[in-house]
Amino acid sequence: MSSARPIDIGFGFDANYAPHTASVLASLVRHARGQRFRFTLLHAGVDRETRAKIEAVAPQHDYHWCEIQDADVPDIGDKRISHISRATLFRLGLEKYAPADCERILYLDSDISVLRDVRDLLAIDLEGHPVGAVIDAYLDPAEFAKQWKLEGEGAYFNAGVMVIDLAKVRAEKLFARAIDLVGAQGIDMPYSDQDALNALFWRRWKRFDPAWNIQRHMIIPEGWRRPPADRLPGAERPGIVHFMGPAKPWMPETWHPWSWAYWENLQRTPFLQEVAKKFGMSAYKRFRLHLRWLRRGPGRSFDIA
């Protein structure tokens, strides 16, 4: 294990997503061999036994556990988007709870799989911006700008993968302002803190190649218009796949080209049997996911040429 300063990685999740967080963690460390990580895990209701199981995935790394309190983030109540829970706000707690010496951190949602070395992502210069991210394949930035009276032509990013200049965020209290904005706007922000972050960081974020947050709408047609070409994966090799939306890879009646990657990484954790039993995903069903990938791949699911 490298003795160099560790790379900071942040997660935010509740007890329901603990096994899926372990899968993300497993995928991350397997592609960055020799690198030491420090994980800041912002959570609610994750007991000590479950924490120990997550740490067992990569025992040589550092873990900084912080339980989010009711006062830390607002109760978003009834939502327009059913799969978005209060736990999505936990990432905003990085400003307060990440270690004091943490100046730059990679935040990852718990419904992704890492396919490449994240050191390649972290090497990208943010060019003075507070965050770097990938454009959201689904949402229309012009409509968002009009709704929130934002000036100039900009883009709307997906907050599931962010490289954060935490020193800058802390200096300007940007995440604290996002929390206040979500609390004030409530249901008017259907994508919760992602909407708040985009309003606050309008024209102030570094745009990454879509390979670092490949979203479902980039590769699977679902009855709506094709995304613009600049929102589709290009020639760069996939780095991170994001299982966004309600159709998750652990659900038996859904399909995503990279569902097999989730299960391949979950089997590197103590949670495989627990999740497989809960969702009725037998070894045969998991094998079929990989077989379908081998036969079709993402390119045949959605013409990205």
**Residues of the chain with pLDDT > 70: what percent?**
88
pTM: 0.91
Distance of alpha carbon 147 from alpha carbon 141, whole angstroms:
10
> Domains in the chain, ordered, with CATH?
7-250 (3.90.550.10)
pLDDT of 304 reads: 32
Residues 52-71: pLDDT tens digits? 999 999 999 999 999 999 88
Q: Are 211 and 114 a contacting pair, CB within 8 Å?
A: no
Residue closest to 250 by CA, chosen among 23, 10, 12, 14: 23
pLDDT of 224 reads: 56
Residues 128-180: pLDDT tens digits? 999 999 999 888 899 999 999 999 999 999 999 999 999 999 999 999 999 99
Helices 272-279 and 259-266, packing angle to 10 deg = 130
Tens of each residue's pLDDT in the chain, 305 residues:
444 789 999 999 999 999 999 999 999 999 999 999 999 999 999 999 999 999 999 999 999 999 999 889 877 655 544 456 789 899 999 999 999 999 999 999 999 999 999 999 999 999 999 999 999 988 889 999 999 999 999 999 999 999 999 999 999 999 999 999 998 887 677 888 999 999 999 999 999 999 999 998 787 766 555 666 676 676 678 999 999 888 899 998 888 889 999 999 999 999 999 999 999 999 999 998 888 888 866 654 433 32
Strands of the sheet with 112-114, listed across from one edge = 112-114, 240-242, 214-215
Q: State the residue for tokens 């040589």.
A: 60
